[in-house]
């Protein structure tokens, strides 16, 4: 009996040591990965998990020469039709801490049989978006970054109305971003600001206010993460919110895939949605081999 107890204790001790070594190895991996991003020989930068649906204009604390291509596809189930989204986006950093972006978002609609054509919106290139974002606060010691930015959206007529003015309106969208990493793996971010839409024909202005919060867990030693965005819009005293669970997978050193689902709280005009984003970051400097 005493011999059996001795072997059980030895086995438990071995398992405990093995687990502790594994945890230490994962922590070391995380530390090395964060160190690769937060290289002390370059301008200060903090590793943050960037939300996939309301994405940023380059990383917070962007470094000169960074660039990224995004191609996105989505589907939203409305009550009387489906909307298919597609976007092409290019973002780059011409100087340290400044990110610029150009985006072309398309929307195509399907019309179920029996539904009148005029009750379904027309296909369109929604707008031409140009944007800038400047990180005015980057602190590695407290793993926190802050940025201000501005998106200008030139609204275009739909494909049924080519005879209309080329630019039918404008959206003015200043915003603030605050991001914090908690330890090595947990990330939180707030993205907020007004969206002021102007109709050039009527000169009517309509203002809404967005408050987007996100929380992510980054898998140790990788760029993969799981998390959720809470996209909230205040419009004339009413708030609409969509919850967007999501995950990001690193396919190679420079290619990532983001997958997002959308669950609206209140289904007055839409049901579930789906969105996927393919992210390609061309190399901009010689880097050490990634740890994944």
The per-residue pLDDT for range 156-187, each reduced to its tens digit, is 998 888 777 889 999 999 999 999 999 999 99
- Across 27-50, average pLDDT: 71
**How much is the pTM?**
0.83
Extended beta strands in the chain, E state: 67-78, 82-95, 98-110, 124-125, 127-139, 144-155, 169-182, 186-199, 204-218, 225-235, 238-250, 255-265, 270-280
CA 116 – CA 111 distance, rounded (Å): 8
Q: Mean pLDDT check: name the lowest of 12-21, 184-193, 263-272.
A: 12-21
Write down the pLDDT at residue 35.
61
| Structural domains present in the chain | 42-280 (2.40.160.40)
DSSP H helices, the chain, are 2-37
> Which residues, including other chains, have CB under 8 Å from residue 242's CB and lie 6 or more apart?
230, 231, 262, 263, 264, 265, 273
**Per-residue pLDDT tens over the stretch 201-238:** 899 999 999 999 999 999 998 999 999 999 999 998 89
Instruction: Band the pLDDT of 290: cuts 50, 70, 90.
Output: very low
């Amino acid at each position: 009996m005493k011999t059996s107890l001795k072997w059980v204790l030895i086995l438990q001790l071995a398992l405990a040591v093995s687990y502790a070594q594994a945890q230490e190895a994962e922590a070391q991996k995380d530390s090395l990965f964060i160190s690769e991003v937060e290289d002390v020989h370059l301008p200060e930068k903090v590793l943050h998990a960037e939300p996939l649906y309301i994405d940023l204009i380059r990383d917070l604390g962007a470094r000169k020469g960074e660039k990224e291509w995004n191609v996105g596809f989505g589907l939203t189930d409305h009550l009387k039709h489906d909307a298919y989204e597609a976007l092409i986006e290019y973002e780059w950093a011409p100087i340290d801490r400044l990110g610029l972006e150009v985006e072309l978002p398309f929307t195509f609609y399907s019309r179920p049989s029996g539904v009148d054509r005029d009750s379904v919106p027309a296909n369109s290139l929604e707008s031409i978006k140009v944007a800038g974002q400047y990180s005015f606060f980057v602190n590695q010691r407290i793993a926190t970054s802050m940025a201000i930015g501005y998106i200008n959206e030139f609204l275009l007529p739909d494909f049924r109305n080519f005879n209309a003015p080329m630019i039918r309106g404008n959206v003015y969208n200043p915003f603030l971003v605050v991001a914090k990493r908690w330890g090595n793996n947990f990330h939180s971010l707030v993205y907020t600001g007004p969206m002021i839409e102007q109709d050039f024909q009527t000169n009517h202005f309509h203002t809404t206010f967005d408050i987007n919060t996100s929380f992510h867990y980054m898998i140790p030693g990788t760029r993969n993460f799981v998390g959720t965005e809470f996209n909230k819009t205040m419009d004339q005293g009413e708030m609409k919110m969509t919850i967007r669970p999501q995950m990001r997978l690193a396919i190679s050193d420079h290619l990532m895939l983001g997958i997002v689902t959308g669950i609206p709280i209140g289904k007055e005009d839409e049901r579930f949605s789906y969105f996927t984003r393919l992210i390609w970051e061309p190399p901009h400097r010689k880097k050490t081999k990634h740890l994944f």
